[in-house]
Structure 1
Amino acid sequence: MQILKSPLITEKVSELNEKGVYGFVVDRNANKIQIKKAVEEVYGVTVDKVRTMNYEGKEKTRYTKARVISGRKPSFKKALVTLQEGDVIDLYENL
């Protein structure tokens, strides 16, 4: 099971990066302890606090000539990770 799926790169999270808070999309079944260990192993930093949020996928409807197609976007879990003072994660180095 891969716990960290991708980093969140949005305007809101970029503002939080300056305060030492980083966002990640994580596996839906991962708990805070597993997320903390995964971030510490992958990035070599010390995690102070982890906050998680579950998002249900939005419902989408598309109108075509033949019929109306309804569906859902996939659900996901988001984690905001606070690092100890002085630790930094460079998310843009591999772009």
Structure 2
Amino acid sequence: MDYTQILIKPVISEKATALKDTDNQVTFYVHPEANKIEIVRAVEEAFKVKVEAVNVIRRQPQARKRSGRNIGKAPGYKKAYVTLAKGDKIEFFEGV
């Protein structure tokens, strides 16, 4: 797979921003079938940085309920926490 297919989008939340500032970690939604090696290669190719570690979590789709009845599904996703080497940075919205 090409890195444009592996990295879906960055996660921009309070937790992701705090991790970026304190631990030099960036967070991405990734393709559900991508493994850690492919994620490392995709981030290094896309942003020209050195990756130290990758942690991956997967959330399964869940039923949305109202009054005890299923009314749809909340989508599942796969998310990667990428730890960058010291001195490397990925800037998404700096100066906005």
CA distance in 1, matches of 2:61, 2:70: 16
How many residues end up aligned between the 2 structures? 90
Per-residue deviation, 1:14: 0.3
Give SS of 2:32's match.
coil
With the length of structure 2 as denominator, give the TM-score of the two structures: 0.85
Per-residue deviation, 1:92: 1.2
Q: More helix per residue: 1 or 2?
A: 2
Q: State whether structure 2 residue 87 is matched by structure 1 residue 81.
A: no
- Runs of 4+ residues over 4 Å off in structure 1: none
Report if aligned partners of 2:63, 2:70 keep a CA contact under 8 Å in 1: no
With the length of structure 1 as denominator, give the TM-score of the two structures: 0.86
Quick one: which of 4, 8, 14 aligns to 1:11? Answer: 14
CA distance in 2, matches of 1:76, 1:91: 21
Question: What does residue 73 of structure 2 align with?
Answer: 72
Q: CA RMSD in A?
A: 1.7
Quick one: which of 34, 55, 68 aligns to 1:51? Answer: 55
Per-residue deviation, 1:8: 0.5
Structure 1: 5+ residue runs without aligned partners? Answer: none
